Structure 1
């Protein structure tokens, strides 16, 4: 289906959508996003990045590509994770602006119009704040606890009501793509970059189809990865806890010596056993935290590419289509020279 908007070589808006476990949402997503973008009236593209979803997502992407000339499908060689899939989409985006959104339609595509209008006011990027959440109560509470802990580590407050739904200018896109960290979080990178940011608010919709691919174990790993990526303060906490336990040990030793000399008694085996278990636990936790940082260093110094692209399905001259391996996508994650 051809767009009613005259196409040229200059794409104004690229919509980047990481796809995983969303085969029931793709057709609706493309249709609604396309209508919103046509309302804006500028040339656009929709980039669907298949993060090797185990369902029929790629087949649905192929169908959407055949139906809409603005849809480009990018299939990664394996599952790399949501945030690297976003990086792959941004590296391939041709637009002056890039909208990033999830594939499950909890972020309403109709709000793209508002994002674009807001960034045209002079902002470098615009973030969308969720004023209501469709997640379960347990997930909302755990998310608040996570961002509270992260805020304590960062010695500031972090608003957890923001998601990936956002629009970036080309300046911010290029700055984002200069990051080469493998352990990455989209919003944390934007927060580090700074730039002038606008905000819109919206209601978080229920998932259109399917269920979230984030299990409890994945959420925990994601949270730990985010903390390690964002802060080294955990190492300072280890030093502080070591100093506290050392001080407790010195005071306890002085007390035991005084008790023995004054009363001829000393602590029993129970207290010693508890103290040994406590100290051993603290030591193991400390080694584990240090090990996490060392593992991240190990992954980084190998300098492997962030991702590999298997196939790119795109239209040529608004008429034909091609399936090809795409060597033009910079898999290091750095900005492309266009």
Structure 2
């Protein structure tokens, strides 16, 4: 499995203390928010006090159209601390779009994205900053232990990463959206304008020097998972159709094999007819019809998924609209 994209070329140790933005997408995270903001404020305060990051570093919470009081808690936290900023989208647009919305207003030297459930180890933030100072533009947070996940989730994740790799998608295994991006890497990421976002698959395409930090995935600090099976399947389909055309090639190969075996079946039928060994019956015919119909419908479904992606891309609609903000001045965004 070729997921090794790390490079030690042209690494130059940085001497200037960076400013940091921690971007946190939130959707109905009212129960987890208080724990999240406390943990991240403690990290920011500690790193500032030890002069690892600049005083203007902060946390940016992006409310992805929550239906609970998540935004109210964000605004209250922003009033109490200059380290907290908030951005509210006009409606729910999904985790990846919310993350891009937050990243698009970042103006600090580096940014780190992390989920509000605190399943990702916040202690890795300092390690990420250290690896940035060594000259890396991207630092991936990689889970080396998923014991907190259910048996089903662990195994489906392994199948997903294996399948994506087999189809030629170069992504970091067991890495979600916990990562550090330098200003240079972030600017490159924002050059990708597609509507169908699969950020964890786009980052490796940037090609900048990168490294990894490893951590053990923990249980959610509070609340329920925002990624049930339906959403996980949606992310998987998004990743496949956004980054590879292998399914279309598989359809072509399947069509070729079907034609090949059909040709052999025709030869067999002709031989049977001329030798007088024809067996009358409709079962074989019905089975063949159902099989070929299933192949055709499956193929049309995959092709339709790609056509739907093309349709949405050609519209070039805005990815999101910002409804409210707190403690921040909006820079560039779309």
Residues 314 and 188 from structure 1, CA distance in 2 versus in 1: closer, same or farther, beyond 3 angstroms?
same
1:147 alignment counterpart: 161
Q: How does 1:63-82 map to 2 (within 5 A)?
A: 63-82=76-95
Q: State which of 152, 161, 164 in structure 1 corresponds to 2:174.
A: 161
CA distance in 2, matches of 1:18, 1:225: 19
Q: Is 2:47 the partner of 1:40?
A: yes
The SS at the match of 1:160 is coil
Q: How does 1:219-258 map to 2 (within 5 A)?
A: 219-258=232-271
Residues 257 and 228 from structure 1, CA distance in 2 versus in 1: closer, same or farther, beyond 3 angstroms?
same
The SS at the match of 2:104 is helix
TM-score after normalising by structure 1? 0.88
Residues 159 and 267 from structure 1, CA distance in 2 versus in 1: closer, same or farther, beyond 3 angstroms?
farther
Q: Which ranges in structure 2 are unaligned for 5 or more consecutive residues? A: 1-16, 49-53
Q: State which of 20, 28, 37 in structure 2 corresponds to 1:21.
A: 28
2:296 alignment counterpart: 283
Q: State which of 134, 145, 149 in structure 2 corresponds to 1:135.
A: 149
The SS at the match of 1:240 is helix
Runs of 4+ in 1 over 4 A off after TM superposition: 156-159
Q: How does 1:78-97 map to 2 (within 5 A)?
A: 78-97=91-110
CA distance in 1, matches of 2:240, 2:231: 14
CA distance in 2, matches of 1:99, 1:258: 68
Residues 267 and 169 from structure 1, CA distance in 2 versus in 1: closer, same or farther, beyond 3 angstroms?
farther
Residues 53 and 287 from structure 1, CA distance in 2 versus in 1: closer, same or farther, beyond 3 angstroms?
same
The SS at the match of 1:47 is strand
Quote the offset at 1:159 in angstroms. Answer: 4.2
CA distance in 2, matches of 1:196, 1:70: 29
CA distance in 1, matches of 2:121, 2:66: 22
Q: Which moved more, 1:176-185 or 1:258-267?
A: 258-267
CA distance in 1, matches of 2:245, 2:79: 47
Matched residue count = 311
Quote the offset at 1:264 in angstroms. Answer: 4.0
The SS at the match of 2:232 is helix
Q: State which of 323, 330, 335 in structure 1 corresponds to 2:333.
A: 330
Could you tell me whether the CA contact under 8 Å between 1:69 and 1:315 is conserved in 2?
Answer: no
Q: How does 1:255-266 map to 2 (within 5 A)?
A: 255-266=268-279
Q: State which of 219, 242, 260 in structure 2 corresponds to 1:206.
A: 219
RMSD: 1.7
1:305 alignment counterpart: 318
Quote the offset at 1:267 in angstroms. Answer: 5.3
The SS at the match of 1:164 is coil
CA distance in 2, matches of 1:19, 1:230: 26
The SS at the match of 1:200 is strand
Q: Is 2:45 the partner of 1:31?
A: no
